[in-house]
Structure 1
Amino acid sequence: MAGQTLRIGTRKTAMAMAQTEEVARLLRASASDLIVEIVRFETRGDQDQTSKLLRHGGKGGAFVAEIREAMRAGELQAAMHSLKDVPGNEETPGLVIGATLPRDAATDCLVVRPGLSLESFRASRGKGFKIGTNAVRRAAYLRRLFPEATVIHFRGAADTRIAKLDRGDKQRLPDGGEVGPADALVMACSGLERIGRASRIAYDFPVDEMLPSVGQGIVAVECAANDFATRARLAKIENAASRLAAEAEREVLWVLNGHCNSPIAGHATFAGSEMILRASVLDETGDRFIEASRTGAADRPRELGRAVGLELLDKGAAEIIARTRPEETDE
Structure 2
Amino acid sequence: MQSNPLRIGTRGSALALAQAHETRERLMAAHGLAEEAFEIVVIKTSGDKIQDRPLSEVGGKGLFTKEIEEALLDGRIDLAVHSSKDMPTVLPDGLALTAFLPREDVRDAFLSPKAKTLSDLPQGAVVGSSSLRRQAMIKRLRPDIEVVMYRGNLQTRLRKLAEGEVDATLLAAAGLRRLGLEKEITSLLEVDEFIPAVGQGAICIESRADDEATLQKLAAIHDPDTQVRLDAERAFLAVLDGSCRTPIGGLAVLDGGRLHFRGIVLKPDGSEAHEADASGAAEDAVAIGRSVGEALKAKMGPGFLAGH
Instruction: Give the aligned length.
Output: 306
CA distance, structure 1, for counterparts of residue 230 and residue 287 of structure 2: 13
Partner residue, 1:162 = 158
- How far apart, CA to CA, are the structure 1 residues paired with 2:261 and 2:223? 18
Q: How does 1:73-92 map to 2 (within 5 A)?
A: 73-88=74-89, 90-92=90-92
Aligned to 1:289: 273
TM-score (norm 2): 0.95
Identity of aligned residues (%): 37
SS of 1:118's equivalent in the other structure is coil
Partner residue, 2:65: 64
Which residue does 2:242 correspond to in 1? 258
Match of 2:209 in 1: 225
Q: Secondary structure at the match of 2:286?
A: helix
Quickly say closer, same or farther: Cα 1:123–1:223, change in 2 above 3 A: closer
**Structure 1 match to 2:14:** 14
Counterpart of 1:110 in structure 2: which amino acid?
F
Aligned pairs for 1:181-200 (under 5 A) are 181-200=165-184
**Structure 1, 234-243 or 47-56: larger mean CA deviation:** 47-56
TM-score calculated relative to the size of structure 1: 0.88
**Alpha-carbon separation, structure 1, partners of 2:300 and 2:283:** 28
* 1:140 pairs with 2:149: no
CA contact (8 A) 1:3 1:33 kept: no
Unaligned residue ranges in structure 2 (runs of 5+)? none
Structure 2 match to 1:38:
40
Q: CA separation of 1:163/1:304 partners in 2, compared to 1, >3 Å: closer, same or farther?
A: same
Name the SS of the counterpart of 1:300 in structure 2: helix
Q: What are the equivalent positions in structure 2 for 1:199-218 lying under 5 Å apart?
A: 199-218=183-202
Task: Letter of the 2:95 partner, please give it.
Answer: L
Structure 1 gap segments, 5+ residues each: 169-180, 325-331
Measured on the aligned residues, the alpha-carbon RMSD in Å equals 1.6
Separation in 2, partners of 1:318, 1:160: 38
User: What residue number does 1:171 align with?
Assistant: none
Give, in whole Å, the separation in 2 of the partners of 1:142 and 1:205.
11
Amino acid at match of 2:116: L
Distance, in Å, in 2 between the alignment partners of 1:79 and 1:4 is: 17
Matched, 1:96 2:96: yes
Which residue is equivalent to 1:320? 304
> What's the CA shift for 1:197?
1.1
Shift of 1:318: 5.0
Letter in 2 for 1:14: A
